[in-house]
Amino acid sequence: MTYSFKNIIIRKPNKSIENALSSQNINPVFKNILEEHNNYVKVMNELNLKVNLLETLEDFPDSIFVEDPALIYKNNCIILNPSDPSRNGEKKIISNEIKEYFENIYFIENGFIEGGDILNIYNHFIIGLSNRTNKLGAENLSIILNSLGASVSICETPKNVLHFKSECSLIDEDVILVSSKMAKLDYLESNYNLIELPIGEEGAANSLRINDKLLVPEGFKKANDILSKNYDIINIKVSEIYKVDAGLSCMSLRW
């Protein structure tokens, strides 16, 4: 299953994250980031995942968000191509750090694409075009995924949504948790069962299903009420990390 995991890669927090990219123009406090990150690692250990910790990269403020420069499919890793110059150098470093874990490493050489714009559902991938992912990058990733036996659909991410997965996540076999903006995407509405969150609770849409648990950002009561009827929820605080446009899925690579 897409959310059946045994292993996870997480990067230790860097103090320079206080200067990370933020559409909100907010600088997080490293001490608070560290607290949230430590709890994230603790939860993953409690879920019996094998946690593989990468060292800090102070030269790259956004580098704890390891999901953006890499994608895992089966026993393969595809090194992506982040669009922002402050992040693009992460790809070369992470490709060397994680090569021991995978049989094959592939690279996106042309076009820009980030993992936050890629939603994996079994052997299918939805790529959202955004300010961080362009058509050329999506098409080049599609070529690699097709060669590995996967199918791909390319969609437009709604305006004012940073990454495709900022406001959606796979939480069951064919169930996607979505914000009201994402619920309006014809492709999702036509092909999947959607659970739409109330306006004001968009931050809960970036939840993370790991085996039989559903990790949900802390602080969204209505989302909890909706999801707890069918899922075993663990709430995780990510309010500081959210200041730099990140959430639960961004901080790890899982397989």
Query: 6-48, pLDDT tens digit by residue?
Result: 999 999 999 999 999 999 999 999 999 999 999 999 999 999 9
pLDDT of residue 33: 98
Indicate the domain borders of the chain. 7-254
- Going by pLDDT thresholds of 50, 70 and 90, the confidence category of residue 84 is very high
pLDDT of residue 174: 93
pLDDT of residue 213: 98
Asked if the model's pLDDT at residue 206 lies above 80, the reply is: yes
CATH code for the domain defined by 7-254: 3.75.10.10
Enumerate residues 6+ apart whose C-beta is below 8 A from 45.
Answer: 51
- Going by pLDDT thresholds of 50, 70 and 90, the confidence category of residue 165 is very high
**Mean pLDDT within 164-176:** 97
Asked if the model's pLDDT at residue 1 lies above 80, the reply is: no
**Mean pLDDT within 37-60:** 98
pLDDT of residue 234: 98
SS3 53: strand
Separation of alpha carbons 36 and 146, rounded Å: 37
pTM exceeds 0.75 for this model: yes
pLDDT of residue 163: 97
Helix boundaries (H) for 154-209 = 180-183, 186-191
Q: What is the dihedral of CA 51, 55, 56, 60, to 10 degrees?
A: -100
Given a contact cutoff of 8 angstroms between Cβ atoms, the answer to whether 70 and 79 are in contact is yes
SS3 177: strand
Terminal alpha carbon distance of the chain: 10
